[in-house]
Chains A and B, each alone.
Chain A
Amino acid sequence: MQRYVVIGNGVAAVGCIEGLRSVDGATPITVVSAEKHPVYCRPLISYYLEGKTDRDKMQYRPGDFYQKMGCEVLYGVSAVRIDPLAKTVALNNGDSLSYSALCVATGSSPFLPPIAGLDSVRQKCTFMTLDDALALEKAVNPASQVLIVGAGLIGLKCAEGLLARVGSITVCDLADRVLSSILDNDCAAVVQKHLEDHRIRFMLSDSVERFEGDKAYMKSGATVDFDVLVAAVGVRANAALAKDAGIAVNRGILVNNQMQTSVSDVYAAGDCAEGEDVSCGEKRVLAIMPNAYMQGRCAGINMAGGSEAFNKGMPMNSIGFFGLHVMTAGTYYSPEAGGDVYEETAAGMRKKLFSRGGFLTGFVFVGKTERVGIYTSLIRERIPLNTINYELLKKAVSLAPFSDDYRRERLGGVV
Chain B
Amino acid sequence: MKRIFVNEKWCLGCRLCEYYCAFANSGEINMVKALKDKPIYPRLRVEDDGGVTYAVSCRHCTDPLCVRSCIAAALSVDAGVVTIDRDRCVSCYTCILVCPYGALAHDDAGVVRKCELCLNNAIGQPACVAGCPNRAIVYEER
Contacts and interface: CB of A to CB of B under 8 A. Distances in A.
| A-B interaction | yes
Contact of B93 (A44, A61, A318): A318
Contacts of B33: none
Nearest to A289: B71
Nearest to B73: A60
A17 B104 CA distance: 28
A294 B98 CA distance: 13
Interface stretch (B2-10, B16-24, B118-126, B127-135): B2-10
B49 interface: yes
Interface stretch (A30-38, A335-343, A368-376): A368-376
A414 B102 contact: no
B73 A290 contact: no
Contacts of A215: none
A293 B69 contact: yes
Interface residues of A, number: 48
A325 B47 contact: no
B87 interface: yes
B6 A327 contact: no
Interface in B42-99: 47-50, 52, 54, 56, 59, 61-62, 65, 68-69, 71-73, 87-88, 90-99
Contacts of B87: 57
A370 B105 contact: yes
A318 B49 contact: no
A329 B105 CA distance: 19
A294 B5 contact: no
Contact of A52 (B3, B90, B94): B90
Interface stretch (A93-101, A163-171, A250-258, A404-412): A404-412
B89 to A, nearest CB: 9
20 contacts: A41-B71, A41-B72, A59-B73, A60-B73, A290-B71, A316-B98, A318-B92, A325-B93, A327-B96, A369-B96, A371-B99, A372-B97, A373-B96, A376-B98, A397-B102, A398-B102, A400-B47, A411-B54, A411-B59, A415-B62
Interface of B: 3, 5-8, 47-50, 52, 54, 56, 59, 61-62, 65, 68-69, 71-73, 87-88, 90-102, 104-105, 110, 142
